[in-house]
Structures are given as structure tokens and as C-alpha cells.
Copies of this chain bind each other. A is one copy, B any other.
Amino acid sequence: MNSEVKKASLKEIAEALSKVETDTLLVVVDSRVWQLYGKDLEENINKVLEANKKVLLYKTLEGEATKSMAEFEKGLEFFLEKGIHRKSHLVAIGGGATSDFAGFLAATLLRGLSWSVIPTTLLSMVDAGIGGKTGLNSKNGKNLIGAFHMPDHVWINESFLETLPETELNSGKGEVIKYGFLSQEIAELLKAKSDLSSIIEACAQKKEAIVQADFTERGERISLNLGHTFGHAIEKIYTMPHGEAIFWGMALIFKLYGTEEQLKLLRTFETGVGASFGQSPWFNKTFPVDKIIEYVSKDKKVKSNGIVQTVTIKEVGKFETKERTLDEIRKELEKEKDELRIFDF
């Protein structure tokens, strides 16, 4: 159960798609991506049509808005009404929200269709688009509904980044920084301020390797969760871009359970990927202990009542997990509360 992850031009992608063993392609594309690239995409889709395939095109809402139950139902019925079959192949074109949503459609239409991803944001190229995690948001939290459903192909085409808004590019950089802690190779690339293209490639391959080793997240895959336990809470509380929230989630975890050196490295990697996250969202404000605990308690990773598995770093490339109770974490946060208010590093 693994995906082929590789860089490809739109032309190469179209060629690959025309060779997929199916007569019906379900294309699920983010509506903003369609606005920007519809013409380019259509030209290439025509090549697929020439290969005698039927193409059904579905445009999602922009970003996370599409990951609702109502949109899910709309997407399902759209395709079911056309009379699709089990050998249909679905292609997701967009950011992480699009691939989460489209992948969940693929996982549940007729009890599962094969699918592929063309990630169009930095975040999805290095993380969300790879690894088969799919899903929707619940009223009770992000990504609480979903399935593991591995795509056959992930085609990375960096030309999409040219039109990516600055905040989204930055958000992706937050996740890129995470890989710096999980891989010596990527740490070196970041320290050397290498070009983004090489960094993306390395992150995507690292993610795919981790996922292949541990598809259902019982072992190494948990390392990808570095910064996410607090990060998801921060994302919600401050309505902040995902990767940026993960950056602050890592900062928090290093502050509580890590080292000064790790905090320093966090800034080094930040510079290395050309990001600048400035000061924490709670700087000079009351640190929101209760809200953090509330959101953490609803996280999927909370193992059983009150036990949270936190991911920390022993050294670059080596992670550690530890079980902590919500109460322990609350106490730790309460203790650091005043310091966190003025926390800078």
C-alpha cells in the first residue's frame, strides 16, 4: 500500500492520467485553483479525453469550507447521479482541504475508488497530499471524521506555488520546518538555505517513507504529529494558518519538554526556509490554558480518557513519544503561564 510520489509537469500528469486503467475519471478540483488554472487544466484534461475516458468535473468550495458533511453529501450525490462504477478513478487537485475531502469521497464512493493527488499548495506538497489521511471536520474538531485511503499517485508540480498567497506559503513552511527535526538530510538542506524545490522533494519523500513504514499510525507516523497536539488547539483559538500554528505548537512543546537548543534550531530552520513567524499569538496576552486543554482533550490522538501522547525530539532525526495526562499538561502550562506571556526565543 504505497503511492508513487514524484515531480511532474502538467503535460506529464495528463499523460500519466490517460494511462490510468479506467474509463471514468472523477476530477475534484478546488474552485480557486480552477479559476487560476482551469484553462491549463482543461487543455490537459482534453488529452485524457482523447484517450477515450469520460471526465466528471466537480469544483469544491475553497479550502476548509469544503470539509463539511453537507459538502460531502453534495459531492457524493454529484458523482453517484452520473452512474459511476468501482473502476472509476478519482483525482484531487488542490490543497490539503481538497485532498482530505476528495480522498474521503474516494474512500466512501461505492465503498472505495482508487485515487490520485495533484497538490497545489506547499502544505499539501510536503504533507497533507501524501499518506492517505482523508476526512472532514466535525463540529467537535478538525479531521475527526475520515478514513485512511492511500492514493496511487501524488504528482508534485511546483508551478502552482507561483500563485499561492504569501500566508499559505508561510503556512507550508511551518510544516517544512517540522521535517527539519525529523530528518538529518532536511535539517542540512534548511541550514544551507537550499532552494525550495529540493526541500519540497526531500520532505515529500520523507513523508511517503514514514507512511509506508507505518500506514495506520501505530509507530513512526506519530512523529509527523510533532507540534500538532498544541498546534491544532492554537489553530482553532487564533484562527491561524495550519503550518504557522504547528510552528507555535513546536515552540510550545520545546519550551515545556525540550531544550533551548531545539528552540534555537526552530529559528534556524525558520530562516532556512525563508519564513518569519515573529512573535507568538499570545505574546503580551493571557496564555489560554483552559482553551488549549479543552481542544487537546478532543484531539484524535488523546488515547483514552485524559491520556495524551506527546511527540518530542531527542536529537534531529530521533523522536520520542510520552504519555501525559491532561492534568499534568494543564499543571505544566499553568506553571509556565506567566513566562509564556512574554515568551520569546
Structural contact, A23 and B140, CB atoms closer than 8 A: no
Q: Check if A297 is an interface residue, CB within 8 A of chain B.
A: yes
In the complex, what residues of B have CB within 8 A of residue A229's CB?
A: none
A86 CB contact (under 8 Å) in B23, B80, B298, B303: B303
CB neighbors of B among A133-188 (8 A): 133-135, 138-141, 143-148
Interface size (A, Cβ < 8 Å)? Answer: 43
A50 at interface, CB cutoff 8 A: no
* Min CB gap A128→B, angstroms: 14
* Interface residues of chain A: helix, strand, loop or mixed (majority): mixed
Kindly state whether residue A1 has any CB partner on chain B within 8 Å: no
CA distance A304 to B301 in the complex (A): 40
Q: Of residues 287 to 322 in A, which have CB atoms within 8 Å of B's CB atoms? A: 297-298, 300-305
CA distance A316 to B267 in the complex (A): 72
Cβ of A133: which chain B residues have Cβ within 8 Å of it?
111
Query: Distance in Å from the Cβ of A211 to the closest Cβ of chain B?
Result: 13
Contacts A77-B139, A81-B140, A135-B111; A304 near B148 (Cβ below 8 A): no
Cβ–Cβ < 8 Å partners of A190 in chain B: none
B73–A69 touching, CB < 8 Å:
yes
Bound-state Cα–Cα, A303 to B144, Å: 32
Bound CA span A21–B66, Å:
36
Residues of B near A145 (CB, < 8 A) are 76, 80, 108-109
Residues from chain B with a CB closer than 8 A to the CB of A148 are 111-112
> What B residues does A301 contact at CB under 8 A?
86
Q: Which residue of B lies closest to A305 (CB)?
A: B23
Task: Identify which of residues 84-142 in chain A touch chain B, using a CB-to-CB cut-off of 8 Å.
Answer: 85-87, 107-112, 133-135, 138-141
Query: With a CB–CB cut-off of 8 A, which chain B residues contact A22?
Result: 304
Q: A216 to chain B: which residues have CB within 8 Å?
A: 112
| 11 pairs, CB–CB < 8 Å, chain A vs chain B | A69-B72, A69-B76, A77-B140, A80-B138, A80-B140, A80-B145, A85-B302, A85-B305, A107-B147, A108-B145, A110-B300
Q: Which residues of A contact B (CB under 8 A)?
A: 22-24, 54, 69, 72-73, 76-77, 80-81, 83, 85-87, 107-112, 133-135, 138-141, 143-148, 216, 297-298, 300-305
